[in-house]
Structure 1
Amino acid sequence: MSTSLLGWLRTGALYLVALLGTVSVAATLLSLPANTPEWWLKLLDFPRVQTLLVALGCLVLLPLLARRWHWGTWALALGLGSAAGLQASIVLPYSPLVPLAVAQATPAQATHRAATLRLFEANVLQSNRHAADLLRLVRQQNPDVVLLEETNAWWAHAVDSLGQAYPYHMLCPLPDTYGMLLYSKYPLSDTVRRFLQHPNVPSFYANVQLPSGQRFYLCAVHPVPPVPSEHPYNKHEREAELVKVGRLLQAQTQGPGLPTLVVGDLNDVAWAHTTRLFESQANLHSVRVGRGLYATFDAKIPLLRWPLDHVFVSSQFRVVELKRLAYFGSDHFPLYCELALE
């Protein structure tokens, strides 16, 4: 290969690195407003890990490709370093590099089966027809509580057999992708179905009693994403359901109330302003912090994945196991979490 051709390739690669680097720096700067009303800026919250990797990659390649450094090269390097640092500070808590927000269960707690809860959560994708694959995963994991989102009448019929092993349930199938089905082996009491933000977007609330006799408060949610939509119509308004749930749970978690568990597809990432505000208001903790990303969406596009399905718990819980389960045809991976209650 001729020297001139190598020079052209090197120059082309440098321009590509400069372009990608500039985009990553701009995306980082535009994503900084914590509570912006602009939905298109809000979307920049999602690919923070991808933006971090692009910034780091460009930062490594820049000195290898740039023959002469001038003010533009130095400015780009400084911007890339700052962008990488900012993005890392935001996503680092969702890695094993920081202390656990929810402690790991001791061997004694993990083996005290009467005081543990196995939780299975999945957004099934309403148009998905692989119900048999989902039921196979449920049988393999043998959870105590199953929460399914995006369930319409077809899905309610397809998983109706769960009622044999899970005699306690809250069912709200809907045709607009916000239906929910909750199945439990353990008794549910004081069950409530609320529509906090939209008339066709439910959230579930119930007390759950473990075989040990201990009880906890369960909340299942699936708010709409922070983008304009027609079903439900949410244009020109902030998506506030999760904040309202946080306010409802304040008295439950800050007073002498029951231990609390919140689970669901939040349609938002773990590090989003709304998600962190909810954690603070409700005095709950994400089981991800200190453990890993556990990106559950998009199951079909490996390069565009982020953590949208969540489990939050109060201080009385300990984590036995947390894992992302296998693909079953949905755009979400299922999330499995086993918890021990002190």
Structure 2
Amino acid sequence: MFRTREIAGRAGGTAGFVRVVVVSVGGAATAVTALPLIPNNEWWIRIWDFPRIQVAVVLLLVLVTAPFVMPLQRRGSAAFMGLVVLAIGWQAYKIAPYTPFHQTEAEAARLCKMDSRLRLLVINVVARNKDGAPILAISKRAGPDLLLLVETDRWWDRRLEPLKSSYPHVISHPQDNGYGLHLFSRFELVEPNVRLLIEDDVPSIKAGVRLPSGALIDFYGLHPKPPPIQDTAEREAELLIVGREVRELRPPLSPAT
């Protein structure tokens, strides 16, 4: 009898521990789902706009596990499960626009002449990465007309030298702080400029691009600091500055004059 009670006590203790873990993890995942709803630029709030898939997976695991360790007939358990379901629904709603199931915001052009087309490739090389071969291989395979690389430093500046044989127009601005930029273009760059809009160590690129048709388009290349590094007020200010410029400039595609 005592042995049976001992085993039952251990089982109950294990179940209780698992229940505490499930509730703690589910509560934390629900909390970080709600945090981005706060209109605040603090980094520890805005960072949760990014790992939505990961948080959604954690919530799903909690939803599957909870019925086995919680008495669902209790109001507290039912309320907890309801909050988890709501959090999953909200994360799914925020993830949906980035899936193939969501309607695209920009309609595909029905007809675009070859000399008015532009192929663009953007690559984040990752500052700590020192293997340039895959980047060069991807660039060669994709064959873009415009190639923007971010987080490039002086090592990458030397490593990207072979690209200049295919791209006669180049803007090189290597930096060792993870915010360097390189732009390679097959087409003429008109009034290319490296700008420091908000901070002295975070550059951005603005340039006109002359297409083979003679049309001139505007190109902006940015790499703002992510939330884990700082609050997002300055980051969003940079995006807003460029957004307002784009709105006030000529149409996206204008005939040559």
| Secondary structure of the structure 2 residue equivalent to 1:117 | coil
User: In the alignment, does 2:72 pair up with 1:75?
Assistant: no
Q: Judge which range, 146-155 or 219-228, deviates more.
A: 219-228
Q: Partners in 1 of 2:177 and 2:162 — Cα distance?
A: 23
Q: Partners in 2 of 1:236 and 1:60 — Cα distance?
A: 35
Where does residue 144 of structure 1 map in the other structure?
Answer: 145
Q: Which amino acid aligns with 2:252?
A: P
Q: CA 1:65–1:135 in 2, change beyond 3 Å: closer, same or farther?
A: same
What is the CA-CA distance between 1:12 and the residue it aligns to?
A: 4.3
Which segments of 5 or more consecutive residues in structure 1 lack a partner in the other structure?
230-234, 261-315, 317-342
TM-score, with length taken from structure 2: 0.84
Q: Partners in 1 of 2:14 and 2:167 — Cα distance?
A: 62
Pick one of 240, 244, 249 that aligns with 1:243.
240
Q: Partners in 1 of 2:131 and 2:229 — Cα distance?
A: 29
What is the CA-CA distance between 1:183 and the residue it aligns to?
A: 0.4
Q: Which amino acid aligns with 2:56?
A: L
1:29-50 CA-partner distances (Å, limit 9, x unpaired)? 222113x132212212221222
User: In the alignment, does 2:50 pair up with 1:46?
Assistant: yes
Where does residue 105 of structure 2 map in the other structure?
Answer: 101
Instruction: Report how many aligned residue pairs link the two structures.
Output: 247
Q: Partners in 2 of 1:236 and 1:26 — Cα distance?
A: 20
Contact conserved, 2:71 with 2:77, CA < 8 A, in 1?
A: no
What is the CA-CA distance between 1:173 and the residue it aligns to?
A: 1.5
Q: Partners in 2 of 1:219 and 1:177 — Cα distance?
A: 18
| Secondary structure of the structure 2 residue equivalent to 1:37 | coil
Q: Partners in 2 of 1:136 and 1:86 — Cα distance?
A: 39
Contact conserved, 1:59 with 1:80, CA < 8 A, in 2?
A: yes
Q: Which amino acid aligns with 2:125?
A: V
Percent of aligned positions that are identical: 31
Where does residue 191 of structure 2 map in the other structure?
Answer: 190
Q: By percentage of residues, which structure has more helix? A: 2
Higher relative contact order (CA 8 A, sep 6+): 1
Where does residue 122 of structure 2 map in the other structure?
Answer: 121
Contact conserved, 1:37 with 1:238, CA < 8 A, in 2?
A: no
Q: CA 1:10–1:116 in 2, change beyond 3 Å: closer, same or farther?
A: farther
Where does residue 252 of structure 2 map in the other structure?
Answer: 259
Contact conserved, 1:226 with 1:238, CA < 8 A, in 2?
A: no
Q: Partners in 2 of 1:154 and 1:62 — Cα distance?
A: 51
Q: By percentage of residues, which structure has more strand? A: 1
Q: Partners in 1 of 2:227 and 2:72 — Cα distance?
A: 44
Structure number with bigger Rg: 2
Where does residue 172 of structure 1 map in the other structure?
Answer: 173
What is the CA-CA distance between 1:209 and the residue it aligns to?
A: 2.0
Where does residue 321 of structure 1 map in the other structure?
Answer: none
TM-score, with length taken from structure 1: 0.65
Contact conserved, 1:146 with 1:182, CA < 8 A, in 2?
A: yes
Q: Partners in 2 of 1:72 and 1:63 — Cα distance?
A: 13
Q: CA 1:210–1:152 in 2, change beyond 3 Å: closer, same or farther?
A: same
Alpha-carbon RMSD? 2.6
Q: Which amino acid aligns with 1:14?
A: R
